[in-house]
Chain A
């Protein structure tokens, strides 16, 4: 089964490779992975999409927690959550297709963010299925290139994945560190 796992980790050089190394060393698959620093520059937030049996997912969350750089792990799939992915796509826009592509962008609530006389560059967000559907819809026009961000996930409700007060207090003040990885 597909799981979306959120990881809060120290924004340290090498932290990302520890996570990636764990997945390759233990033969877990990563469908997508996205990571960036949070509002607290000492922390990065990672969203991982993976698949596996309940036993494997349990091992994945335990193994992630065991990494020294990992502060918190949450399997978003266990509760109600929202996921989004961003798509940047460049599509041929010539002749009759120029209008048709524009209509499709409107239907999918996307935006044309760059235009030439031969192509549109389009921005679209949503869940993976919606992005897949859009790519299928514009395929006939001719796709020049596709860039997807990987899934971002967040739990519904008023609670957040944060360090505890005690953890926050003990965090060493640090100059803005380099991005994880």
Chain B
């Protein structure tokens, strides 16, 4: 442990110099001093000293989950909704292995998580002790960094570093593995105010020369496109992005992770892009001459075949993580920096410049985009006697006034939620984009609801996904978490079924869920309200009824059309101009020909 901080002042304030605390007490003090509000966890042998210390205080609220995966997702949901780090506390062995899916989920979506795992005592490490596992080794590939604390005197500094690393630069999960004897041993407590790591110093301010070049290119564009991702949300740059796009009058598309970064109801917004993006967004990507990518990482679900990606575009790429730049698609003007700060600089330069975008070219570009938009690629059959899943989302959007926090699981329901719920604000749309973790939605909603107890929090899910963490309904009961679960129940793993229909000649191999529970009764068994809805005419009424029950968890089980597919769709290996449209539209337009 350092005796002095970089400034040279002593680490230990004089009045506390003689007071020694146990590692467990130090742990709790650190979290209090870090301002931690909630910690999601599950006790066990190696973590018991810490749990005892938690018992003796009342500042940090501990939320007992039913499975450690739920703890990681709940903390992740909390982090994404608030921008503050989510905290997890689990025991050694299975406690920490159960969090791995949640940690990997946070890692792929750059969510700031600090996970504390108990470990067997230092003298047992490597002895194959009871509930021992190599937590550092198991989590290494899916954390931003991890630490094993071997000496109680290093505990406070390590915790400070963990929060610092998790929340700065490109955020991500950090794991701190704490052996049981470290939590029993004593040391003088001092929580450092700041921390400096010689090996970690993220670049936040963009290079002025690069920004200048980017602005020149932006102002000379004839068919510009702004493509933004989760980096806008993470860096709280939604305001700057909105100003930037409106200042220029350019079309803007968001990735799945970026929804809410630009208002979904703004006419300049052309919808989500990518595999299930809108026709207008994908066509505009394909035809644009300048692509401004901000806080997005050119994921394969966004780009389709990279060889066919934006063939006419000169690319500007702004990202806080240098490894994201030119990883999948080469950028002509790379800018390493925080989306927020770079956008501020660009706005300033654009305002100061006499040059303005070519108004005639931009008007022609918008005429083209409006033609694409006029296709109404998301339209579905509104005359069906079965409940269409899209209809449920549309109604949910209406009855919540577009102002709910929405979490989702993974699959068709996730895509429909992204397509049909128009997010005007950042941090309202919370889903597992990168890892695609089924089971994320319900526990994530718990974290969001605890952060915002007065707000409406909905979990849009499916009968397959929701069962992966269904046990957290019990957590919701214990802590009175009144989330609204919108279960789009089509008795299939819908997205798997869709792929099997399209690419496997309708061989529906193991995508059918036989023997489903009665979700209404299941919700009731957990002490909640359950409602089954099987007629389109009852959808709106049921949603309103659920929202009226402000202090109850309501599980709405919508029995939907089993055959509905998500459109448009870009098959793997195809380009943005090779979308498969809904059968109704497929005959109207040949996307390939249009580009010839």
By a beta-carbon cutoff of 8 Å, the part of chain A in contact with chain B is 9-10, 13-14, 17-18, 21, 25, 55, 58-59, 62-63, 65-66, 68-71, 163-164, 166-173
Can you list 13 contacts pairing A with B, beta carbon distance less than 8 Å? A14-B136, A14-B140, A21-B140, A25-B141, A63-B323, A66-B323, A68-B165, A69-B199, A70-B199, A163-B198, A167-B199, A172-B2, A173-B3
> With a CB–CB cut-off of 8 A, which chain A residues contact B141?
21, 25
In the complex, are the beta carbons of B6 and A169 less than 8 A apart?
yes
Contacts of B173-207 to chain A: CB distance below 8 A: 196-200
Q: Is B148 an interface residue (CB 8 A)?
A: yes
Nearest CB in chain B: distance from A30 CB, A: 16
In the complex, are the beta carbons of B323 and A62 less than 8 A apart?
yes
- CB closest chain-B residue, reference A68: B145
> Quick one: which of A18, A21, A173 contacts B2, CB cutoff 8 A?
A173
In the complex, are the beta carbons of A9 and B322 less than 8 A apart?
no
> With a CB–CB cut-off of 8 A, which chain A residues contact B197?
68, 170
Q: How far is the CA of A1 from the CA of B322 in the complex (A)?
A: 22
In the complex, are the beta carbons of A68 and B144 less than 8 A apart?
yes
By a beta-carbon cutoff of 8 Å, the part of chain B in contact with chain A is 1-3, 6, 136-137, 140-141, 144-145, 148, 165, 196-200, 321-323, 326-327, 330
In the complex, are the beta carbons of A13 and B198 less than 8 A apart?
no
In the complex, are the beta carbons of B140 and A17 less than 8 A apart?
yes
> Quick one: which of B145, B148, B327 contacts A13, CB cutoff 8 A?
B148
Nearest CB in chain A: distance from B574 CB, A: 23
> With a CB–CB cut-off of 8 A, which chain B residues contact A169?
6
Nearest CB in chain B: distance from A28 CB, A: 13
Q: How far is the CA of A25 from the CA of B323 in the complex (A)?
A: 15
Nearest CB in chain B: distance from A46 CB, A: 13
Answer whether A59 and B323 are a contact pair too, CB < 8 Å, given A13-B148, A169-B6, A170-B6: yes
Nearest CB in chain A: distance from B310 CB, A: 18
In the complex, are the beta carbons of B140 and A18 less than 8 A apart?
yes
- CB closest chain-B residue, reference A169: B6
> Quick one: which of A14, A62, A167 contacts B198, CB cutoff 8 A?
A167
> With a CB–CB cut-off of 8 A, which chain B residues contact A68?
144-145, 165, 197, 199-200
Q: How far is the CA of A172 from the CA of B154 in the complex (A)?
A: 12
> With a CB–CB cut-off of 8 A, which chain A residues contact B137?
17
- CB closest chain-A residue, reference B8: A169
Q: What would 13 more interface pairs be, CB under 8 Å, given A164-B198, A167-B198?
A: A10-B199, A13-B148, A14-B136, A55-B326, A63-B323, A66-B321, A66-B322, A68-B199, A68-B200, A169-B6, A171-B198, A172-B1, A173-B2
Q: How far is the CA of A170 from the CA of B196 in the complex (A)?
A: 7
> With a CB–CB cut-off of 8 A, which chain B residues contact A21?
140-141
- CB closest chain-A residue, reference B198: A167
> Quick one: which of A10, A13, A62, A70 contacts B322, CB cutoff 8 A?
A62
Number of A-B contacts (CB under 8 A): 51
- CB closest chain-A residue, reference B330: A55
> With a CB–CB cut-off of 8 A, which chain A residues contact B199?
9-10, 68-71, 167
Looking at A163, A167, A170, the one whose CB has the most chain B CB atoms below 10 A away is: A170
Q: How far is the CA of A12 from the CA of B144 in the complex (A)?
A: 16
Nearest CB in chain A: distance from B330 CB, A: 8
In the complex, are the beta carbons of A71 and B144 less than 8 A apart?
no
Q: How far is the CA of A169 from the CA of B197 in the complex (A)?
A: 11
> With a CB–CB cut-off of 8 A, which chain A residues contact B327?
59
Nearest CB in chain B: distance from A66 CB, A: 5
- CB closest chain-A residue, reference B144: A68
Looking at A13, A68, A164, the one whose CB has the most chain B CB atoms below 10 A away is: A68
Q: How far is the CA of A169 from the CA of B200 in the complex (A)?
A: 14
> With a CB–CB cut-off of 8 A, which chain B residues contact A168?
198
Q: How far is the CA of A164 from the CA of B199 in the complex (A)?
A: 11
Q: How far is the CA of A163 from the CA of B200 in the complex (A)?
A: 12
- CB closest chain-A residue, reference B169: A66
Q: How far is the CA of A66 from the CA of B136 in the complex (A)?
A: 18
- CB closest chain-A residue, reference B140: A21
> With a CB–CB cut-off of 8 A, which chain B residues contact A58?
326
Q: How far is the CA of A58 from the CA of B331 in the complex (A)?
A: 13
Closest 9 CB pairs of A and B: A167-B198, A172-B2, A68-B145, A71-B199, A62-B323, A170-B196, A170-B6, A62-B322, A68-B200
- CB closest chain-B residue, reference A60: B323
Nearest CB in chain A: distance from B214 CB, A: 20
Q: How far is the CA of A161 from the CA of B140 in the complex (A)?
A: 27
- CB closest chain-B residue, reference A72: B199
Q: How far is the CA of A102 from the CA of B144 in the complex (A)?
A: 53
> With a CB–CB cut-off of 8 A, which chain A residues contact B165?
68
Nearest CB in chain B: distance from A81 CB, A: 23
- CB closest chain-A residue, reference B161: A68
- CB closest chain-A residue, reference B146: A14
Q: How far is the CA of A163 from the CA of B323 in the complex (A)?
A: 22
Q: How far is the CA of A25 from the CA of B107 in the complex (A)?
A: 15
- CB closest chain-A residue, reference B197: A68
In the complex, are the beta carbons of A170 and B198 less than 8 A apart?
yes
> With a CB–CB cut-off of 8 A, which chain A residues contact B136?
14
> With a CB–CB cut-off of 8 A, which chain B residues contact A18?
140
Nearest CB in chain B: distance from A34 CB, A: 20
- CB closest chain-B residue, reference A167: B198
Nearest CB in chain A: distance from B109 CB, A: 17
Q: How far is the CA of A25 from the CA of B200 in the complex (A)?
A: 21
In the complex, are the beta carbons of A65 and B140 less than 8 A apart?
no
- CB closest chain-B residue, reference A65: B322
Nearest CB in chain A: distance from B18 CB, A: 23
Nearest CB in chain A: distance from B4 CB, A: 8
Q: How far is the CA of A74 from the CA of B373 in the complex (A)?
A: 49
Q: How far is the CA of A136 from the CA of B548 in the complex (A)?
A: 84
- CB closest chain-A residue, reference B142: A25
Q: How far is the CA of A9 from the CA of B199 in the complex (A)?
A: 8
> With a CB–CB cut-off of 8 A, which chain B residues contact A170?
6, 196-198
Q: How far is the CA of A18 from the CA of B199 in the complex (A)?
A: 14
- CB closest chain-B residue, reference A69: B199
> With a CB–CB cut-off of 8 A, which chain A residues contact B148?
13-14
Q: How far is the CA of A119 from the CA of B141 in the complex (A)?
A: 46
Nearest CB in chain A: distance from B24 CB, A: 23
> With a CB–CB cut-off of 8 A, which chain A residues contact B196?
170
Nearest CB in chain B: distance from A22 CB, A: 9
- CB closest chain-A residue, reference B336: A62
> With a CB–CB cut-off of 8 A, which chain B residues contact A10?
199
Q: How far is the CA of A163 from the CA of B198 in the complex (A)?
A: 8
- CB closest chain-A residue, reference B201: A167
- CB closest chain-A residue, reference B195: A170
Nearest CB in chain B: distance from A65 CB, A: 7
> With a CB–CB cut-off of 8 A, which chain B residues contact A167?
198-199
Nearest CB in chain A: distance from B327 CB, A: 6
Q: How far is the CA of A69 from the CA of B145 in the complex (A)?
A: 9
Looking at B145, B165, B197, B321, the one whose CB has the most chain A CB atoms below 10 A away is: B197
> With a CB–CB cut-off of 8 A, which chain A residues contact B323?
59, 62-63, 66
> With a CB–CB cut-off of 8 A, which chain A residues contact B140?
14, 17-18, 21
Q: How far is the CA of A25 from the CA of B322 in the complex (A)?
A: 18
Nearest CB in chain B: distance from A87 CB, A: 33
Q: How far is the CA of A66 from the CA of B145 in the complex (A)?
A: 10
